[in-house]
């Protein structure tokens, strides 16, 4: 049975009111594949453009995305996040960047959607800011 459908098959938020508040954590990863020209610009763990440092923008976007997940994903419960960490791991040898989002809360439901949203939203500035330097950026996984 799908949890986000009521008895009549209509969309419905899951009632978590009777569940206990517990410590909840989640970890999600997004991979951004870089074209050779952009990968060549990786220096000291960052890519600098006229718009600024790409990874700094990605970290801020990821945290903001995780915090606003319930506004972006239908039927998600709004959760107070105790912590949200975005870690950018560039791998110039494979021309890719791994974006790790780890989220923590104390709530009645999990934070998997917040971690997924944080990792995904953090990947978007890499595409946006990097695309001005080189086309062919791919966001995956």
Report d(CA 125, CA 92) in Å as an integer: 18
Which one is catalytic: 44, 82, 83, 128?
A: 128
Residue 128 a catalytic site member: yes
3-state helix/strand/coil string of 7-31? CCCCECCCCCCCCCCEEEEEEEEEE
Report d(CA 81, CA 66) in Å as an integer: 8
Catalytic center residues: 128
């Amino acid at each position: 049975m799908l949890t986000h459908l009521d008895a009549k098959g209509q969309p419905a938020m899951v009632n978590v009111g009777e569940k206990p508040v517990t410590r909840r954590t989640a970890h999600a990863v997004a991979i951004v594949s870089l074209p050779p020209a952009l990968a060549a610009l990786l220096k000291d763990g960052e890519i600098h453009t006229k718009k600024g440092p790409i990874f700094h923008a990605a970290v801020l976007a990821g945290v903001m995305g995780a915090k606003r997940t319930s506004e972006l994903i239908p039927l998600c419960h709004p959760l107070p996040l105790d912590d949200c960490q975005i870690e950018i791991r560039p791998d110039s040898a494979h021309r890719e960047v791994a974006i790790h989002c780890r989220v923590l809360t104390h709530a009645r439901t999990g934070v998997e959607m917040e971690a997924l949203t944080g990792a995904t939203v953090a990947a978007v500035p890499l595409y946006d800011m990097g695309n001005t330097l080189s086309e062919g950026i791919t966001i995956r996984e």
